[in-house]
Amino acid sequence: MLNLFPITRALIIANVVIFLLQGMGGDDFVSHFALWPWHAPLFHAWQIITYAFLHDGFSHLFFNMFGLYMFGPEIEHTLGPRHYLMYYFVSVIGAALVHLAVMQLTGTEWIPTLGASGGIFGLLLAFGMFFPQRRIVLLIPPIPMKAWVFVTLYGLVELAMGVFGTMQGVAHFAHLGGMLGGFLLLMYWRVVGTSNL
């Protein structure tokens, strides 16, 4: 199926290749390309994009790439390759900016952030908006629900976990930032009359 969706395929390949390079480069690689708070000495502007290609272990990579595989092709088909690629990276950047702002406001310790989750949450939001009545079945528990319900509940759960500090080490506000960045871009495209939207 991915042969029909070149951008999704390229993103998955890039994430896997960079994960392997990360394994060889170790801490130095993470120090240069993970996302650090913007008041930290290790922060560089390119990190608002590069962090999304790094992952904290194989399971982190697998679940993010599974999400990309599940939702990416239909969004790529709907938007077209050029708009899809733009949408994905706007979600990634939106996730980074929201996460940086929250870290600044809360005085979070200087720890790196990494992972494609912001982009994946952007794709999830787009899926809920484009296919609101489509049924999604959760893995745990296996409960089917409409896409718009799933996306709304997932967003609310992320907000609650971010506010109450549940699951420490997970960048909940970055996930919400990915959704926000994607939503704002979709609204902009609708206003300017971009085709297919």
Catalytic positions = 117, 175
- What is the 8-class DSSP label of residue 145? E
Tell me which H or E stretch contains 136: strand 135-137
Secondary structure of residue 144 in the 3-state scheme: strand
* Token representation of residue 124: 């999830």
Number of other residues whose CB lies within 10 A of the CB of residue 177: 26
Cβ-based neighbours of 133, under 8 Å, separated by 6 or more? 146, 147, 148
Alpha-carbon span 195 to 80, nearest angstrom:
10
> Which whole-number Å values give the CA distances from 118 to 78, 93, 122, 186, in the listed order?
20, 8, 6, 16
